[in-house]
Every structure is written in C-alpha cells, then in structure tokens.
C-alpha cells in the first residue's frame, strides 16, 4: 500500500531527470555524478553545478542515509490528502553521495517518532503498476543498541 493516497500526482519526468525515474522503476537509486570533479549532485542537471563540466554520468548508490530534516503535514495540501492522517516529508542525506539530499517520506515512523539523524534505507513504494518512488524506512544500525528499531 502506497504511503500517500492514490490520487496524488505521479512525478512527471523531464529530459534531465528521466533516467532517475526510470532507474526508480527498476528499484535502483541513481544519482548524477560529475566525471570531472567526481562529485555527486541532485537534482539532475546537464552540467555539474560545482565545476560546470558537462561530462556527467549516473552512479547507483546504496540507498542508505540519515534524516537531515523533516516536517509533518497536517493539512491537505492536495485534494487527494483530504481525510488522510498526518504524514512526514523528510529530507534524507544519502550515504556515499557527498551532500546529496532527497526529499521523500519515511513510511514506517509515526509523526511524533521522527528524529533528525535517524538512519534510514530506501523503500520502493509502488504507486501504480511498474511505477516506484524512492521512500525510506527506519534502518537498524548494527552495534547502536537501538531497541526500538524495526
């Protein structure tokens, strides 16, 4: 079951980010990577925002990360959200991708239990047949002693 109601609009791919969404549908998280300065960047652009090189490619990342910040939505900002319980919108700092952060949701944590710094891992939310969005789930960190991890 999708995290947000079925009436929520699906992402509309552009020429720049279409490979990102195509990879998502294959349950792979890929991020733009500059072949000149070897830095990751997001959202996808035709040139590196750091060094302006157009020698850019895509690299798959693990999908683990931490909650950089978040908010909890209580108001229906879209008609499909009317009557829907509160939901979080999280900014996730990805591991192994420099300072790249994805705006997403953490699907298995109640609003009052969201925490900055929470370890998370990607979860593929199939919003319609063959269309997957990268959302996140709480991640157990080995040796952390976390008792409340799922």
Chain residues binding Zn ion by CB under 5 A are 34, 36-37, 48, 50-51, 53
CB-wise, 39 or 138, nearer to Zn ion?
Answer: 39
CB-wise, 48 or 122, nearer to Zn ion?
Answer: 48
CB-wise, 48 or 127, nearer to Zn ion?
Answer: 48
d(CA 61, CA 4): 25
Burial 20-56 (b: 16+ CB within 10 A, else e): bbebbeeebbbbbbbeeeebbbbebeeebeeeeeeeb
Q: In angstroms, give the least distance from the CB of 121 to Zn ion.
A: 27
Q: In angstroms, give the least distance from the CB of 22 to Zn ion.
A: 23
Q: In angstroms, give the least distance from the CB of 28 to Zn ion.
A: 23
């Amino acid at each position: 079951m999708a995290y947000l109601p079925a009436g929520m609009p699906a992402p509309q791919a552009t020429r720049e980010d279409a490979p990102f969404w195509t990879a998502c549908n294959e349950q792979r998280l890929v991020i733009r990577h500059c072949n000149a300065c070897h830095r990751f960047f997001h959202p996808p652009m035709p040139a590196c925002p750091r060094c302006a090189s157009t020698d850019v490619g895509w690299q798959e990342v693990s999908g683990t990360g931490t909650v950089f910040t978040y908010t909890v939505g209580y108001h229906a900002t879209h008609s499909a959200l009317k009557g829907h319980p509160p939901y979080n919108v999280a900014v996730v700092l990805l591991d192994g991708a420099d300072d790249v952060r994805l705006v997403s949701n953490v699907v298995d944590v109640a609003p009052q239990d969201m925490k900055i710094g929470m370890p998370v891992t990607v979860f593929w939310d199939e919003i319609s047949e063959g269309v997957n969005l990268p959302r996140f789930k709480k991640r157990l960190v080995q040796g952390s002693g976390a008792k409340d991890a799922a």
